[in-house]
Amino acid sequence: MVTGANAGLGFWTTLSLARSGDRVVMACRSKQRADAAAAAIRARAPDAELPFVELDTADLASVERAAEQLNQLERIEVLIENAGIVHTPARRQQTVDGLELVAATNVFGHVALTAAVLPTLLHTPGSRVITLGSLTTLWPWPGLDDPQSERFYNGLLAYARSKVMLQSFGFELDRRLAASGALVRSLVAHPGYSNSGRTPRVPNVNEPGRAKRFRDNLQAAVAQGKHRGALPVVAAADDPSPPPSPAFYGPKGLLKGAPVRAVPVPITTDRSVAFAVWAEAERATGVIFAL
């Protein structure tokens, strides 16, 4: 299952897995956009099985409904938590649940989804959860004492903070799963510096204009297309023998390159940070993990 499978990294991750013969559940907010993406994937992988589940990670009721559908599946082998806001709003916004929009979309919705489908994951020995990190975790401490930007909001900082929180959650989940004896892994991958302008054009999926392509291609020395940025995510899904926690994947050159096992930023593996993130996620979502 791939959240946000209709565009960006999610589309290219879904396409790669479908080409390998995997059945991929596309969990997206818009069925229309998911259908357009599925048509583009089938044009490249005619036998692709791409069932749709409606999911908005910024809406906990939507997460609950999606989880009910997913738990009807016989198994979930890989849950890829890709959906997120990259282009953050200029002003702080709240979701229908009263949560800060960026944190809710990128972190809390995925935490709630993971907890809700955990029974199915636990009944699928060897299954794994993959969360998406970011190079923004390299930024200076992004104010984790204000996880929902209640005292001060800046879109870029909110995004960086959400990625620190999501990576931290992914690594802590792996530790807790191992401690419980569960045969489920939680891995983290980051796409390096990937942009739309260096990504192949796909009608109705990725259609950057000439100006966008020109600007993005000026960064060719340090940037790659999203079709390349998805490769570490696919590597995490396919790795037959993931390393012990923290299991982290990214481009060989940090910003771009072939997928390799990588070294995460210390803040994302700090257990004191993880405990704070976990507590905030439980408070925000009302979810308690059965581990």
Position 14 in a domain? yes
Is 41 part of any domain? yes
Output Rg (C-alpha) for the chain, integer angstroms: 18
215 inside domain: no
CA dist., res. 173 & res. 131, Å (int) = 10
**Would you say residue 206 lies in a domain?**
no
Give CA–CA dist 88/196, Å, rounded. Answer: 16
pTM: 0.96
**Count of the separate structural domains present in the chain:** 1
Does some domain include residue 290?
Answer: no
- pLDDT, tens digit, for every residue of 247-258? 999 999 999 999
Of 153, 159, 193, 249, which residue is the catalytic one?
159
- Stretch (H or E) spanning 164: helix 155-180
Q: What is the CATH number of the domain that holds 255?
A: 3.40.50.720
DSSP 190-244: ---SEEGGGSPPBTTTB---HHHHHHHHTTTTT-EEHHHHTHHHHHHHH-SSPPS
- pLDDT tens per residue across span 23-79: 999 999 999 999 999 999 999 999 999 999 999 999 999 999 999 999 999 999 999
Q: Is 169 a domain residue?
A: yes
Residue 208 resides in a domain? no
Q: What is the mean pLDDT of each run of 10 residues along the chain (291 residues)?
A: 98 98 98 98 98 98 98 97 96 98 98 97 97 92 86 94 97 97 97 96 94 96 97 98 97 97 96 96 92 78
**153 catalytic per annotation:** no
Q: Note down the domain range covering 253.
A: 2-196+226-285
What is the distance between the alpha carbons of residues 262 and 250, in angstroms, rounded to a whole number?
Answer: 6
253-285 residues labelled b (16+ CB within 10 A) or e (exposed): ebbbeebebbebbebbbbeebbebbbebbbebb
Q: Give the model's pLDDT for residue 139.
A: 86
pLDDT at 175: 98
Is residue 217 a part of any domain in this protein? no
CB-based contact 198:225 (threshold 8 Å) = yes
- Cα distance between residue 110 and residue 88, in whole Å: 18
